[in-house]
Amino acid sequence: MPKRVCGRKRVGWWVGTVVAVLAGLVGATMVWSAIGLRLSAETFVEVPPERVWAFFADPHNLPKWDRSVASIEITSSPPYGVGSTFETISPEQGGRVTRTSYRVAELVPGKRATIDVVDPEEFQRATWVTRVEPSGGGTGVLIDVEFRPKLQYFFLTPLLYFSRDNMGITDMRYLNEALAAYGR
């Protein structure tokens, strides 16, 4: 007659297995966070590239399509270019607003802008790259966002990854609408 496994041993085995799996997931997420995360989204608008670039050249247009931004404050002197800084102010949530500082790291007028978050609390690095390209009677817009969370914020990597549709669908729809209205 086979020996029955004691209930405590079975529970201990399951607990050990769950702990090992969770530790593996946490470890893998920490490695993923150290590598960083890149999210991309694109849209096409029937607006000339010059008008699209003019829209992006004015940071005050950001709240027109990015729902995480209520307003913008320019924090550097004109003219706007490499080294320029600005802050975004989030919509109020629970009586609290968040301010985030940005710096223009690279600017190829009419083609590409790279914007870095300045001293981000949660990230080693956070960068936005916007590209504008003429395309079949209109303009293609490609936005890449690159994040590398600090070790203690490693859990942000899967959260950002699984919220990527917000940027890819929602923000691009709002951007498309804002650019179409701006282009008229």
Q: List b or e across 146-175, with b for residues whose CB sees 16 or more CB atoms inside 10 angstroms.
A: bbbbeeebbebbeebeeeeeebbeebbeeb
Q: Please indicate, yes or no, if residue 96 is contained in any of the structural domains.
A: yes
Flag whether 131 is in a domain: yes
Instruction: Tell how far CA 102 is from the center of its chain.
Output: 13
Report the pLDDT value the prediction gives residue 116, as an integer from 0 to 100.
94
| CATH code of residue 118 | 3.30.530.20
pLDDT tens for the chain, residues 1 to 184: 555 555 566 666 676 666 665 666 655 555 555 567 777 888 899 999 999 999 998 889 999 998 889 999 999 998 889 999 999 999 988 889 989 999 999 999 999 999 998 987 777 788 899 999 998 889 999 998 888 777 777 666 677 667 766 666 678 888 889 998 987 7
- For residue 61, what pLDDT is reported? 93
Across the chain, which distance is largest between two alpha carbons, in Å? 87
pLDDT at 168: 62
In this prediction, residue 112 carries a pLDDT of 95
What the block records as the tokens of 154 is 């490693």
DSSP assignment of 17-38, as one string? HHHHHHHHHHHHHHHHHHH-EE
The answer to whether residue 68 is domain-embedded is: yes
CA quadruple 70, 108, 131, 140: dihedral sign: positive
Which parts of 77-155 fold into alpha helices (H)?
none
Domain that holds residue 172: 36-183
pTM above 0.85, yes or no: no
* The length of the chain, given as a count of residues: 184
Domain assignment present for 18: no
Count up the domains in the chain and report the number. Answer: 1
